[in-house]
Amino acid sequence: MMPAPDIYQELLRKFRTWYRREPDVAAYAPGRIEVIGNHTDYNEGFVCSAAIDRGTWFVASRRSDKECRLVAGDLMLQADFCTCCNAPLTVNTWANYVAGVLDGFSQRYELPCGFDGMFFSNIPLGAGLSSSAALEVSAALAFSALYGVSIDRMEIARIAQRAEHNFAGVKCGLLDQITSLYGAKGTVVETDFRSMTVKNIPLGKDAAFLMCNTHVKHALVDGEYNSRREACETARDYFASVLPHPVTALRDVSVSEWHQHKGGLDPIVAQRAVHPISENERVLAAVDSLKVSDLKAFGEFMFASHESSRHNFENSTPELDCLVDAAHKIPGVLGARLSGGGFGGSVIVLVHPRDAETAATAMKNSYKAAFGEPCDVCLVHPSDAAYTLPLPR
C-alpha cells in the first residue's frame, strides 16, 4: 500500500496535469470499521466504531463560473454538473455522493462559483468500510474551505447522510459519517444516536483489528438495507401501540418486552426487530467490558452480534459466516463479526497484536479451503478524524 503522504502528492500531481492549475483546498476523510452495534444507529441506539487508517483525499479549486468538474483520480473519469444540480445524476452516478453534498451546501449557502475537483481513495470498494461516507465527508470539508463557510461537524454528517438518502438512494443512519468525523487515534468511537453524544474510548495497546475482505458484494444490497430499515420502523410503530411507555424508536424496547409482545407482529418483522433491540444491550455491555480492559468479554459480544446478524437480521452471507466460524476456532482470536450494513463486505476480527500475524494466516487459509481463493486480510488501526490538509506553497 502506498504511504498516505505519497498518495496525496500523487493526487496533487494528477490535479495539476489535468486542470493545469493549483488546487485551492484539500481535505482527507477516513473510512471506518463498525466494531459492535449493527443497524442500531437509525434505531436511535448505540454503536462502537473506529475511524481507520485508510481514507479519501479530495482537492479542489474555485472556478469562475457555476460549473463543477469532478474527476475520480484512480480511473481519471470526469463527471460534469453544476452548482444548481438538485437531483441525482443519471450518468456518472459515482459522482452522486459529491453532487449530493454540494446540493446540501447550496440549500444552506449562496454558492458563488463551481469547482474543479479530484479525489482518490485507498479504501477498498464494497468492503463495508464506508468508502462513500469518506468521499462525502472529504468533499464536505473541502467545500467548507472552498466557500469559506464554517459548519459544525454534526451538521456535515447530516449533509452527507442526506446525500446518501436523496442522491444514492440508501436510507442509511449517521454511523459512517460520524465515525469519519469524530474518530481519534487509538480509540473507538462510542455514539449514542439519540442524544447524539460521541465519546472516544481508548482501545489500549493490547487490542488490534484485522479486516478480512471477502470481495463479495451481493446484488440489491441497497434495497436489502432499506427493507431492513422499514421492518424496524414497522416494529417500532407496533411496540409504540402496545407498550405503556413512549416508543419513538426500537431503542425504547427491551429484549424482555420484545419476548412479551412479539406474538402480535409478523414473524419476520419480529425476527428483524430483535436484532437492533438485543444489539443495543450488547453494545452497552461491550463498552463496560472495554472500560475495564476485559477484551475477552468484548470479543464474546462481537461473536454474539454476528450470530444475531446471521439468524435474526439475515444480513450475513456464507462468506462472512465462514470467516466468523473460522475465527472462533483460531487460538488468539477474541471476537469477530461482520462490519457495516452486511450482505457482503468484510469481517472485523479482534486479536491481541502478538497474535495478529498467525490469526491473519489462519483466516486466509480457512477462507481458501472453503472458497478456493484467499480473502484479503490486513491490520486496520483506529485513526484520527477527517481534516483539511495544508497545500504545498
What does the binding site for ligand GLA look like in residue numbers (CB under 6 A)?
34, 38-39, 41-42, 172-173, 175-176, 340-341
Residue placing its CB nearer to ligand GLA in the complex, 176 or 355: 176
Q: How far is the CB of 340 from ligand GLA (least distance, A)?
A: 4
Q: Which residue has the cell 473510512?
A: 31
Here the cell at position 367 is: 477462507
Please identify, using beta-carbon distances, which residue of 23 and 100 lies nearer to ligand GLA: 100
In sequence order, what are the residues at sequence separation of 6 or more whose Cβ sits closer than 8 angstroms to the Cβ of residue 83?
66, 68, 102, 106, 111, 113, 114
Q: Which of 162, 191, 10 is nearest to 97 (CA)?
A: 162
Our CB check for ligand GLA shows the closer of 52 and 356 to be 52
| The three cell numbers locating residue 98 | 459529491
| Residue closer to ligand GLA (CB basis): 32 or 364 | 32
Q: How far is the CB of 172 from ligand GLA (least distance, A)?
A: 3
- Taking the least distance from each CB to ligand GLA, the nearer of 83 and 214 is 214
Query: Least distance from C-beta 38 to ligand GLA, angstroms?
Result: 5
Q: Is-contact 11 392, C-beta < 8 A?
A: no
Instruction: Go through 62-88 and write b for each residue having 16 or more CB atoms within 10 A of its CB, e for each that does not.
Output: ebeeeebbbbbbeeeeebebebebeeb
Based on CB atoms, which residue is closest to ligand GLA, 61 or 180?
180
Known active-site residue 176 = yes
Catalytic residue among 176, 206, 237, 294: 176
Least distance from C-beta 83 to ligand GLA, angstroms? Answer: 26
How far apart are alpha carbons 155 and 162 in whole angstroms?
11
CB of residue 345 to ligand GLA, shortest distance in Å: 9
Closest approach of ligand GLA to the CB of residue 289, in Å:
20
Q: Which are the catalytic amino acids?
A: 176
